Chain A
């Protein structure tokens, strides 16, 4: 990795904007939770949570500015997790 990538400095204003986005998404997820969307309750909540997680990972955790090793290994971990969850749930749901 070159020096520029590891020394990437994020401004306070930019970090504050990310925080603002996270608080807004929290307000949205709490707000919509007072309405019953039926079977969509879980997908809506997980979609908002995943959006928040993406903001934290990309900017607070700097993944956007990391080299290929961390990016690829992170995506691989997410794939393993997706397999773990989806295959187990398949088994449970259609048993």
Chain B
């Protein structure tokens, strides 16, 4: 006898986990709001140090990868395995592009002596220091989520290739996709708050 699979239950479990992620990042955004209120001038100075072009490029990369992940689920449902694999590989490359961009972006900040405990930050106003503290905490935690999302997508990719994920059973791909979209969702709020409004 075949094992029964509770598709809805599997998805609800994933969503409950995602709610905890939402509250985690929500807490950090509250911190951002409170300090932005306390040090608006220092935050504006900090925001000027960030590169809008880098931020926009990374936003587009994540949006496109979210689309290809969603499309890979459609491909699996239509039994187009090759297409699904191609879309997942492309999504992984997008994730890698995001991380490489982030590496250069952080590198440029380090070069300008803007990193936790740097002399420039320690000598500057507390608000400026706090801005970069939040910048590294939030983008760092987000970057960690990008890496975890890529691992989940890579596992799904292998399972698709081995026919363990199929049109009959694709909960793993669906849940990895949900996680990847959450990563995108968080960036949708990180991007304007750090790169645009200041």
Q: How far is the CA of A7 from the CA of B178 in the complex (A)?
A: 16
The interface residues of chain A lying within 8 Å CB-to-CB of B191 are 49
Chain B residues contacting A19 (CB-CB under 8 Å) are 63-64, 66-67
Interfacial chain A residues near B16, Cβ < 8 Å: 73
Contact of B67 among A16, A53, A73, A81 (CB under 8 A): A16
Complex interface: chain A residues within 8 A of B185 (CB): 53, 56-57
Q: How far is the CB of B6 from chain A (nearest CB, A)?
A: 10
| Interface SS, A side | helix
Set B63, B181, B182, B192: member contacting A23, Cβ < 8 A: B63
Residues on B with beta carbons closer than 8 Å to the beta carbon of A9: 74, 77-78
Main SS of chain B's interface residues? helix
Q: Does B30 contact A (CB under 8 A)?
A: yes
Q: Is the CB of B188 within 8 A of A49?
A: yes
How many residues on B have C-beta within 8 angstroms of the other chain's C-beta atoms?
45
Select which of A41, A45, A77, A89 is within 8 A of B19 by beta carbon: A77
Q: Are B59 and A53 in contact (CB under 8 A)?
A: no
Given the contacts A60-B67, A60-B70, A69 and B196 also touching, CB distance less than 8 Å: no
The residue that B188 contacts in the complex, of A1, A41, A53, with Cβ under 8 A, is A53
**Are B33 and A49 in contact (CB-based, < 8 A)?**
no
B63 touches A53 (CB 8 A): no
Partner of B37, one of A6, A16, A33, A93: A93
Name the residue of chain A whose CB is nearest to the CB of B196: A33
Q: Chain B residues near A30 (CB, 8 Å)?
A: 52, 56, 196
Distance A5 CA – B110 CA, assembled complex (angstroms): 49
Query: Which chain B positions have C-beta within 8 A of A53?
Result: 185, 188-189
3 A-B pairs closest in CB distance: A45-B192, A33-B196, A19-B67
11 sample A-B contacts, Cβ–Cβ < 8 Å, listed by A number: A15-B67, A26-B60, A33-B192, A33-B195, A46-B189, A56-B181, A60-B184, A70-B12, A80-B23, A84-B23, A89-B30
Taking Cβ atoms with an 8 Å cutoff, the residues of B that contact A are 7-8, 11-12, 15-16, 19, 22-23, 26-27, 29-30, 33-34, 37-38, 52, 56, 59-60, 63-64, 66-67, 69-71, 74, 77-78, 177-178, 181-182, 184-185, 188-189, 191-193, 195-197
